[in-house]
Amino acid sequence: MISRETVTAQAERLGRSAVLLANRTRDAAAPRLKLLAFNTSAAFRFARRRLEARPALRDRHEPWRRFAVVTIALVAFAAAYFDPVFAAVPRAWRSPVHGLGQTITDFGLSGPYLIPLAIFLIWTATVDWSAFARRSRLHLFNGTAAAWYAFISIAGSGLLVTLLKQLFGRARPRLAGELGAFHFDPFSFDAAHLSFPSGHATTVGAVCFCIAILFPRLRLAAIIAALWFGFSRSVVGAHHPSDVVAGLLIGGWFAYWVAIRFGKAGLVFLLPEGRLPQRRRSFHLLPLDAHRRFRRFVHRTEAQAHRLSGKRFDGL
């Protein structure tokens, strides 16, 4: 039988070990916390200086009217011509493509995008930038700015759509037979009435717009992926087609708005008049040598594709 003195001694040893571990953890975390505070304050000062140095860009027109007109028109068109047809399609007819839709629909979850971005941003906020060479700091700066752009675009559009879902309270397609395709119950806080807009489609729209604007050569692929992954939500019966259209547009337009804000601060993007924001020529995520090798690889791939199709290739 274990005596009371033995139990007390073991408890004291465990207590001393816990205190020692806590002290070591605090000592190890203190430099990181100091770097976090310093890097955060330096980043805000840097952004403020960039904004103050560009007064002409601060008042540049942002296309809110165009966004509203295009979004309302496309959503109304989809609601008028596609939602009633989709609601009338028997469930059995959708089953052949349901499995494929179920496989790809989770690409619209925001977690797989936001969690790696958040981890990277936390690391950049707690690392000593002065320990890197000048060129490495430039690549780290570019990567951090791009990560913040993607994180704000995805997370911000997701929060906006969460509010809109509660505001509209549209019934899911599975309730269309009972309630109709256009039943709304605002602020019901019921998952069955959170159909409009589609959150998955919003995430897909934001992610694909980020890819399209950061990597213009992938623009067509990003558009196809946005439509493919977005409308998988209708295939699995989770959303009406107009929900998906609204989600894709909100995600894309929100990422567009964030790109304009970054461009006004002189980060990542240039803002040519009357055109989409363009990636700055000095913006490279890869080291210069690796970037050149990647461009040569893309050039050879495009040339080979044109030769196989029998078309002339006029690449740079």
Q: Which pLDDT score, from 0 to 100, does residue 204 have?
A: 95
Question: Do residues 270 and 304 share a domain?
Answer: no
What is the C-alpha separation between 70 and 186, in angstroms, rounded? 24
Q: Which pLDDT score, from 0 to 100, does residue 23 have?
A: 55
Q: Which pLDDT score, from 0 to 100, does residue 159 have?
A: 95
* Range among 4-8, 20-24, 68-72, 144-148 with highest mean pLDDT value: 144-148
Give the total number of structural domains in the chain: 2
> What element of type H or E holds 182?
none
Question: Do residues 261 and 296 share a domain?
Answer: no
The answer to whether residue 2 is domain-embedded is no
The answer to whether residue 46 is domain-embedded is no
Question: Do residues 153 and 267 share a domain?
Answer: yes
The answer to whether residue 26 is domain-embedded is no
pLDDT at 51 over 60: no
Beta-carbon contacts of residue 298 (< 8 Å; ≥ 6 apart): 217
Question: Do residues 124 and 81 share a domain?
Answer: yes
Question: Do residues 180 and 256 share a domain?
Answer: yes
The answer to whether residue 32 is domain-embedded is no
Question: Do residues 69 and 130 share a domain?
Answer: yes
Least confident interval from 8-22, 197-211, 217-231, 248-262: 8-22
Question: Do residues 213 and 123 share a domain?
Answer: yes
Question: Do residues 135 and 78 share a domain?
Answer: yes
With a pLDDT cut of 70, the percent of the chain lying above it is: 69
pLDDT digits (tens, 9 = 90+) for 277-314: 888 877 766 666 666 676 677 667 767 766 766 666 55
Q: Which pLDDT score, from 0 to 100, does residue 5 have?
A: 61
Question: Do residues 251 and 266 share a domain?
Answer: yes
What is the C-alpha separation between 36 and 125, in angstroms, rounded? 5
pLDDT at 116 over 80: yes
The answer to whether residue 238 is domain-embedded is yes
The answer to whether residue 272 is domain-embedded is yes
The answer to whether residue 10 is domain-embedded is no
pLDDT digits (tens, 9 = 90+) for 55-103: 555 556 566 777 888 888 999 998 888 888 887 765 555 556 677 777 7
Question: Do residues 159 and 214 share a domain?
Answer: yes
pLDDT at 249 over 70: yes
Q: Which pLDDT score, from 0 to 100, does residue 202 have?
A: 95
The answer to whether residue 101 is domain-embedded is yes
What is the C-alpha separation between 228 and 216, in angstroms, rounded? 19
Question: Do residues 279 and 300 share a domain?
Answer: no
Q: Which pLDDT score, from 0 to 100, does residue 152 have?
A: 95
Mean pLDDT of 209-236: 89
pLDDT digits (tens, 9 = 90+) for 169-180: 888 888 877 887
298: number of Cβ within 10 Å: 12
Question: Do residues 198 and 263 share a domain?
Answer: yes
How would you label 194-233 residue by residue, b for 16+ Cβ within 10 Å and e otherwise? bbbbbbbbbbbbbbbbbbbbbeeeeeeebbebbbebbbbb
Largest CA distance in the chain: 90
Domain that holds residue 272: 60-283
pLDDT at 115 over 60: yes
Q: Specify the DSSP class assigned to residue 184.
A: B
Is the pTM of the predicted complex or chain greater than 0.85? no
